[in-house]
Amino acid sequence: MSDWKSEDDAGPGENDGIDPGTDPATARERLTVTIGNESIVISQTGEDGVPCRLRLTPGDALMLLDILQNETERLEEMAAEAAPIPIRFDFRK
């Protein structure tokens, strides 16, 4: 599950990767991607409840996007093997 809000749309604490209504003991991985004017921040709540953040410059983000696009087939196979239920989301146009 992932959320996306631009820095301009996010409220205070909204893009910290933690959903306050979720029980950390039963929560699945959750990513928040914040795109600002000078950086992209990917946040996730760790298994211990501590938020983890990755801040990328636009150039680094494009490099990561290129790598992920080249590995799409392999990533889809890995996700299918890890999925507990046979549901697949495709957000591509």
Q: What angle do CA 32, 80, 63 make, to 5 degrees?
A: 50
What pLDDT sits at residue 86? 60
List Cβ neighbours of 13 (8 Å cut-off, separation of 6 or more).
none
Q: At 20, list the tokens.
A: 């306050």
Helix axes 58-70, 72-82, angle to 10 degrees: 70
pLDDT of residue 64: 95
| pLDDT tens-digit profile, the chain (93 residues) | 445 455 555 555 555 544 455 555 555 557 888 999 899 999 988 778 788 899 999 999 999 999 999 999 999 889 888 876 666 666 776
pLDDT tens-digit series, residues 17-34: 444 555 555 555 578 889
Check residue 26 and give its pLDDT: 55
What pLDDT sits at residue 39?
94
